[in-house]
């Protein structure tokens, strides 16, 4: 296990290094110019543009810019925003990650148990009515783009079905404009419930289908018949044996989903005006805020790498046959 962890950490570092080079290169070829945006576009003089580039360090050779940026990033100095009040980026990303964490946590709390339950029911009733209904519903949810489900939720739930619900007040429904990070989870629930449902509908189909396939495969194993012949209760066979083995491939999807929920809900956060890491990235791209874009993408990569590592370690816990000794 120690050797495996060492290899994975080496892979972690190399992936971040190559990713940082790609990120830096891509941000430098984005259309538009941050100094032109800051100074008003065509109204800016050549001298003013040159002065702006010197102040932001954009006049240095690219390899020097990269070396300075990655050195500061590793040290925890992610620089200042190029636009607005030019605030430090690290506290801004930290706060928005916390906001995205709330949304991700609520989404997982809804999606994972429902998906596993539906997958087990579908797997135990393969090709029967319950299986067909669950399959049609979950595949339909997956087929709908995120922006479609988000808009439908705002239109039907927020504007038509629940105009007077006290727990979902009209003035905050469908928007997180008044959302405050200091709010407790209960206080922030009205801002989280609709985007969490939109994200849940996306995950529902993937996790359900994987769980269903795993249950169907495990039910055909010899150990299931042996356990039944020994007189073990059917529910115990399903919960303690079938489900544990069936969830092994599902762990990967859930782990990757955490990375997506923490940093990939760009469309959902934008539609619901939720102040998470995804919407923060959109504002950075619109304003050509290079330090912000670079930092957010690097954080996203780190989240996905950590979640994949956790998924691999969970494999060994769920299946004793899996060992990482080599």
Q: What is the pLDDT of residues 297-326, one digit of tens each?
A: 898 888 888 888 887 777 766 666 666 554
- Interval 268-305: pLDDT, tens: 888 888 888 888 888 888 777 888 888 888 988 888 88
The tally of CA atoms less than 13 A away on the side-chain side of residue 84 is 14
Q: Return the C-alpha torsion angle 166, 169, 170, 173, nearest 10.
A: -130
Q: Which two tokens mark 37?
A: 């945006």
In Å, what is the CA distance from 6 to each residue of 69, 253, 306? 26, 24, 14
Q: Give Cα separations from 270 to 168, 203, 249, 276 (angstroms).
A: 19, 19, 31, 9
Q: How confident is the model at residue 96 (pLDDT cuts 50, 70, 90)?
A: confident
pLDDT (tens digit per residue) in 170-225: 444 444 445 555 666 677 777 788 888 889 998 888 899 888 998 888 888 888 78
Q: What is the pLDDT of residue 63?
A: 86
Give the phi and the psi of residue 187 in degrees, each rounded to 5: -65, -35
pLDDT at residue 174, as a whole number? 43
At 114 the three-state DSSP class reads helix
- So what's the pLDDT on residue 225? 81
User: Which residues are registered as beta bridge partners of 80?
Assistant: 88
Stated pTM of the model: 0.80
Q: In angstroms, rounded to a whole number, what is the distance separating the alpha carbons of residues 89 and 95?
A: 10
Average pLDDT, the chain: 80
Distance, CA of 241 to CA of 215 (rounded, Å): 10
pLDDT recorded at residue 230: 80
Name the residue with tokens 């590793």: 74
pLDDT of residue 322: 62
Distances from the Cα of 35 to the Cα of 39, 74, 78, 292, angstroms: 6, 26, 20, 15
Q: What share of the chain is helix, strand, coil (3-state, %, to 5)?
A: 75, 0, 25
pLDDT over 80 (residue 142): yes
> Which range is most confident: 41-50, 185-194, 197-206, 238-247?
197-206
Checking if the pLDDT of 84 tops 90, the result is: no
DSSP letter at 33? -
- The model's confidence at residue 127, banded by pLDDT at 50, 70 and 90, is confident
**Average pLDDT for residues 33-50, to the nearest whole number?**
69
Task: Tell me how far apart the alpha carbons of residues 215 and 210 are, in angstroms, rounded to a whole number.
Answer: 9
pLDDT of residue 180: 59
> What are the two backbone dihedrals, phi and then psi, of residue 180, each rounded to the nearest 5 degrees?
-120, 130
- Per domain, the residue ranges of the chain are 16-74, 89-318
Give the confidence band of 164 by pLDDT, cuts at 50, 70, 90: low
Q: What is the CB neighbour count within 10 angstroms for residue 182?
A: 6
- 219-238 average pLDDT score: 80
pLDDT at 150 over 80: yes
Higher pLDDT, 167 or 103: 103
Tell me the two tokens of residue 103.
């949304």
- In this prediction, residue 234 has a pLDDT band, given cuts at 50, 70 and 90, of confident
CATH code that applies to domain 89-318: 1.10.3720.10
- Which pLDDT score, from 0 to 100, does residue 40 have? 63
């Amino acid at each position: 296990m120690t050797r495996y962890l060492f290899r994975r950490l080496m892979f972690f570092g190399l992936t971040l290094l190559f990713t940082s080079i790609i990120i830096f290169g891509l941000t430098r070829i984005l259309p538009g110019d941050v100094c032109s945006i800051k100074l008003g576009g065509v109204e800016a003089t050549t001298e003013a543009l040159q002065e702006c580039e010197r102040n932001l360090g954009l006049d240095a050779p690219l390899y020097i810019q990269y070396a300075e940026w990655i050195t500061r990033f590793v040290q925890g100095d992610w620089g200042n925003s190029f636009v607005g009040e030019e605030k430090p980026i690290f506290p801004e990303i930290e706060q928005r990650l916390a906001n995205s964490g709330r949304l991700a946590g609520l989404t997982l709390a809804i999606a994972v148990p429902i998906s596993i339950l539906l997958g087990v029911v579908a797997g135990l009733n393969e090709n029967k009515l319950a299986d067909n209904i669950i399959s049609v519903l979950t595949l339909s949810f997956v087929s709908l783009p995120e922006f479609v489900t988000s808009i439908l939720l705002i239109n039907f739930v927020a504007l038509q079905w629940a105009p007077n619900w006290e727990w979902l007040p009209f003035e905050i429904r469908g928007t997180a404009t008044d959302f405050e990070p200091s709010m407790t989870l209960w206080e922030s629930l009205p801002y989280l419930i609709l985007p969490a449902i939109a994200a849940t509908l996306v995950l529902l189909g993937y996790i359900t289908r994987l769980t269903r396939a795993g249950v169907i495969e495990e039910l055909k194993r010899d150990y299931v018949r042996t356990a039944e012949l020994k007189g073990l209760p059917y529910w115990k066979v399903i919960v303690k044996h079938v489900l544990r083995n069936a969830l092994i491939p599902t762990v990967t999807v859930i782990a990757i989903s955490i990375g997506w929920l923490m940093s990939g809900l760009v469309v959902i956060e934008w539609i619901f005006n939720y102040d998470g890491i995804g919407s923060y990235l959109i504002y950075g791209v619109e304003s050509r805020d290079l330090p912000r874009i670079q930092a957010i993408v690097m954080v996203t990569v780190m989240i996905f790498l950590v979640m994949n590592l956790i998924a691999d370690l969970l494999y060994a816990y769920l299946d004793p046959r899996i060992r990482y000794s080599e």
